[in-house]
A and B are shown apart, each in its own frame.
Chain A
Amino acid sequence: MAEFEPILLANIDRPDSHTRQVYESTGGYSALRKVLGSQTPNDVKETVKASGLRGRGGAGFPTGLKWTFLPKDHPGPIYFCLNADESEPGTFNNRYLMELDPHQVIEGLILSCFATAASTAYFYMRCEYPLAWKRVQQAVDECYEAGYLGKNILGSGYSLDIFLHRGAAAYICGEETGLIESIEGRRAWPRIKPPFPAVEGLFRKPTVVNNVETVACVRHIMERGADWFKSMGVPPDPKNPRDAGSYGPKLYCLSGHVNKPGCYEAPLGITVNQLIDQYGGGMRGGRKPKAAIPGGISMGLLKASEFDCPLDFNGPGKYACLGLGTAAVVVMDETVSMVDFLHNSCQFFAHDSCGQCTPCREGTAWSLRLMKRILAGKGRLKDLDLLLEIGDTIGITPGTTICGLADGAAWPIKNAIRKFRGDFEDHIKRTNPEGWMRTDPVPALDLVEIH
């Protein structure tokens, strides 16, 4: 692959990259000046639509299309929520942007708000990012001083306020309607859709929720144009009419058993192998890889033999994963027990299920119970079928939950057991030589608390 010039991460190595002076010295806010001086909101919308930009938050929904769902000629207010509740395990790309180049995010945010005619933006950041919080707040303050925010921005007549909101650390706040409920001061239980937020969202007004990296991309699209953006990435798969293509640069969070974990920028469509070899410096200790999470734990698992999977929005789906997600690649080498992996995954989702829909609330807690029993050497082969049944029946795909995060809880179960069933069976037979084959109901065990 040809040498790729980072775009989103271009300036993070400069000293004081988080300050306005440094940002402006590298051409910062030029896109904003250009757009506010000469373009209409509709121009921005059309440019973003033409660029094929898809949301970087996980679902990969086309951003320009999302913006066009807003009602036409709405008297307002229209709200813009920036989703910085980056809670997906393994994911830290937004953190890089917010800590090391917050002005880039804010410029993109202002442009996105301009495009959607929003006059108020809520920057919803997770609680666990104190440095990002400090720097974004500082950046917002600097923008008010410089006239990039507030009334009549740069004399254009457009006004915008940004409120930095710190969440109370809940995975579910990353779901857009959960985030909206949380901003409203309520329990972050996702709302039933329709109505979608674009029609009725925050404070029952039309609302757009976008990810940090998405608006950062908007900034660069507005500076360099849609064609430039489309020159990177993967065109739509002609065999899949629902694939909108995967264009542009993407921040990949590489972690796990590689030599150089970190946040790397690459064009969409890089394969797992390329990511490990070109950016991660190969497997740690020269061990053989066993599996990788393609994009955050909720996306499922890739086997080592599937590492040629291209990490674009369409790629992981072809390998029975849920999708690209947040492009957080966690690589596991041959020393990892898949039983441990799945136990860890179940623990996370049992802890972070919001508890609104019965199948997810109870299913995640139940799967953790099963995993705990298997780990404790009391597993039976039958339990694997039960785990699969739980995995197959929760989520928005079968239709049993309100939000899509339940699918994320199900996918690791489905992928781990279907792709590594031998590992699980070996573990169960080895640790429970007396009872692994039993099929009668398991007596109620006093193992531990729910989780």
Chain B
Amino acid sequence: MPTVIVDGKEVELAPGERLNGIQAAARAGVEVPHYCWHPGLSVVASCRMCLVETGKKDPATGKIQMLGKLVPACQTPATDGTVFVTDNDNVKNARAMVEEDLLLRHPVDCSICDKAGECSLQDYHFEYGREERRADIKPFNSRRRSLGDTVTLFVDRCVMCTRCVRFTREISGDAELMVANRGAHEEIDVFPGFPLDNKLSGNVVDLCPVGALGDKDFLYTQRVWFMKSHDGVCAGCSTGCSIRVDENQDRVYRLKPRENPHVNQWWMCDEGRYGWKHIHDPNRIAGPRRRGAKGMENVEWPQVAKQIDSDLRRCSGLAAVVSPHLTVEEAYLLATYIRGIRPNALLVLGPIPVSGEDETFAKGFTIRAEKCPNRKGVEAVLTGVTGTPLVTWREFLDKHLPSGSYDGVWVSGGYVAPWNDTAVADRFARVKTLVVQDFFSSPLMETATWQLPAAAFAERDGSYVNHADRLQSFEWAVRAPAGVKVEGHLYWQLAGRTGLFRSRAVLDDVARAIGYFSAATGVIPDVGLDLKVNQLAGAS
């Protein structure tokens, strides 16, 4: 086993593992501060914050030969016998000097800077900086200019790490950002007439270690220390990016990507990043209503489950349309509930929204055309529960519905974009009990006997299965607004289960009942679980 020595502590690397000094030190529990280095970008070794001393241990004699000067840890490979020293005076002085240098012209306007609280410059200054300002330079005011529709630049807060420039060159590929001017006059800029405009533009804000790049959507809406972060999964497309949902008092303020080497690396697309506005849309369906003698009437939630249940039990032919926006657990509860009433009930996969084509960027990050998070999961639940081939929405509309044998239909929605029209709604004319559960009103909703609200992705508990059969579990980040009951909670109640909805308990049932999910037992890792791992074993 290759062994690296960090501050006297031995760390073992896996054979063939390629780490730099920063990563090797992290293994040993030692932080090496850095600005320009990012695991997803090329190494430039220019910020010089990660300076350490290095050397080599002779395997035969055990003697350590030091190099005798500082080296950037980001650029120094950790190989067998490499020695890193990160805590001697030489290193400390170098860090303090770099920190002092970076603050020479920095406006130190933390009190009005969005980054304050999660800023590397701030953190490192407290940890490694000097106590006293020795510079006689009066910092500039923070000049601000727009780089594009999503990002604004606070010119003088920049520390010239060039992460954003490298991102647009190496990942998003459009290379809009550049370094203009020279020396201490350097600034990040765009070429006139070519603003920062790509589908991954928001990532440069995450990459910025200081407050130079501001997200226009988030700017000045919330101090970061007021927000709580919740691990989540983006519901924008079938990639299922691991994200963080940052909220304060049940109001979402921003989504940020969460590192997941199997799914999204460090990135997320702008569509997903800013695709949470519907959560707080005032036009959301808010509260259950039932068609009565005088049109739609409000129903109190405590009565809903009982009344729907009795309505459905009066129907002779039942069908349920299971939306790809539901979690695996919700889909399973709904499917088994409907089948519990009528064992021959028809289970249909809801419509799959598709827009454009898959778009893959350098190093593999992909925005999928399939704009729902859980098609694979719902499909597997439906085929697993029925044991028969999948029935699609189209087949249901064209073949099953016209036969007239279904007088009770449950349509779960949760779609953010319009997805049905009056022509579709007309097909349901002969359905006696039509339960429509959706986010916004639609022609289909207007014809329903039961109108139920749907929850948003950040309000759900459960699991999604992405395009590559990776199951990721998450918990709710914000509570659903008044009047909205999360689908899972309602289905749990309908299924007659006691206590509060627990997605984990349902997933255990799913893992036992359906072979595809058999791996989903125990703790689901933060980076999710590859459901394919057990498939071969299960098939044999």
Contacts and interface: CB of A to CB of B under 8 A. Distances in A.
Binding partners A and B: yes
B104 A441 contact: no
A366 B97 contact: no
Contacts of A362: 101-102, 104-105, 184
Given A398-B69, A445-B138, A450-B105, A358 B184 contact: no
B102 A444 contact: no
Interface stretch (B47-55, B445-453, B510-518): B47-55
B139 A450 contact: no
Interface string A360-384: 0111111001100100000000000
A199 interface: no
A187 interface: yes
A397 B113 CA distance: 37
A192 interface: yes
A450 B133 CA distance: 18
A355 B98 contact: no
A170 interface: yes
B134 A402 contact: no
B135 interface: yes
Interface in A209-245: none
B71 A399 contact: yes
Contact of A350 (B69, B139, B181, B183): B183
A443 B136 contact: yes
Question: How large, as a class, is the contact surface on chain A?
Answer: 35 or more
A366 B135 contact: yes
Nearest to B74: A192
B70 A398 contact: yes
Contact of A400 (B51, B132, B179, B184): B51
Contacts of A442: 134-136
A442 B133 CA distance: 9
A290 interface: no
Contacts of A451: 183-184
Contacts of B94: 393, 398, 400
Interface in A34-80: none
A356 B46 contact: yes
A335 to B, nearest CB: 29
Tier of interface size on chain B = 35 or more
A421 interface: no
A369 B48 contact: no
Nearest to B165: A187
Most central of B71, B93, B102, B137 by chain A CB within 10 Å: B137
Dominant secondary structure at the B interface: loop
B134 A192 contact: no
A355 B137 CA distance: 18
Contact of B98 (A358, A370, A447): A358
Nearest to B186: A355
Interface in A315-365: 350-359, 361-365
A450 B51 contact: no
A318 B75 CA distance: 32
B136 A369 contact: yes
* Prevailing SS type, chain A contact patch: loop
Contacts of A444: 135-139
Contacts of B97: 359, 389, 393, 400
A364 B93 CA distance: 18
Contacts of B44: 192, 356
Given A358-B101, A366-B101, A401-B48, A192 B184 contact: no
B133 A192 contact: no
Nearest to A390: B97
Given A358-B102, A369-B136, A353 B70 contact: no
Contacts of B133: 441
A386 interface: yes
Contact of A355 (B43, B70, B104, B160): B160
B182 A170 contact: yes
B491 to A, nearest CB: 57
Interface string B25-49: 0000000000000000001111111
Given A400-B70, A441-B132, A361 B184 contact: yes
A442 B134 CA distance: 7
B529 interface: no
A400 B94 CA distance: 8
Interface in B120-147: 132-139
A402 B45 contact: yes
Given A365-B104, A393-B97, A399-B69, A354 B137 contact: no
B185 interface: yes
B256 to A, nearest CB: 27
A61 to B, nearest CB: 19
Nearest to B179: A187
A358 B46 contact: yes
A358 B48 contact: yes
Contacts of A443: 136
B182 A354 contact: yes
A358 B162 CA distance: 12
A393 B130 CA distance: 15
A446 interface: yes
Interface in B56-102: 69-71, 75, 93-94, 97-98, 101-102
Contacts of A357: 46-48
A169 to B, nearest CB: 11
A369 to B, nearest CB: 6
Contacts of B71: 399
B437 to A, nearest CB: 56
Interface in B345-384: none
B38 to A, nearest CB: 15
A370 B137 CA distance: 9
B183 A355 contact: yes
B184 A450 contact: yes
B279 interface: no
B255 interface: no
B159 interface: yes
B65 to A, nearest CB: 16
Interface string A298-316: 0000000000000000000
Contacts of A361: 101, 160, 183-184, 186
B79 to A, nearest CB: 14
Contacts of B104: 362, 365-366
Nearest to B71: A399
Interface in A402-451: 402, 441-447, 450-451
Contacts of B48: 357-359, 400-401
A85 B79 CA distance: 38
Residue of A353, A362, A373, A389 contacting most chain B CB atoms (<10 Å):
A362
Interface of B: 43-49, 51, 69-71, 75, 93-94, 97-98, 101-102, 104-105, 132-139, 159-160, 179, 181-186
8 contacts: A361-B184, A361-B186, A398-B69, A401-B48, A442-B136, A444-B135, A445-B136, A445-B137
Given A351-B182, A358-B48, 20 more contacts: A192-B43, A192-B44, A350-B184, A353-B182, A354-B182, A355-B179, A362-B101, A363-B101, A364-B184, A366-B104, A366-B135, A389-B97, A393-B94, A393-B97, A397-B69, A400-B97, A443-B136, A444-B137, A444-B139, A451-B184
Q: Which 8 pairs of residues, A with B, have the shortest CB-CB distance? A: A399-B70, A362-B101, A444-B138, A365-B184, A399-B69, A442-B136, A353-B183, A355-B186
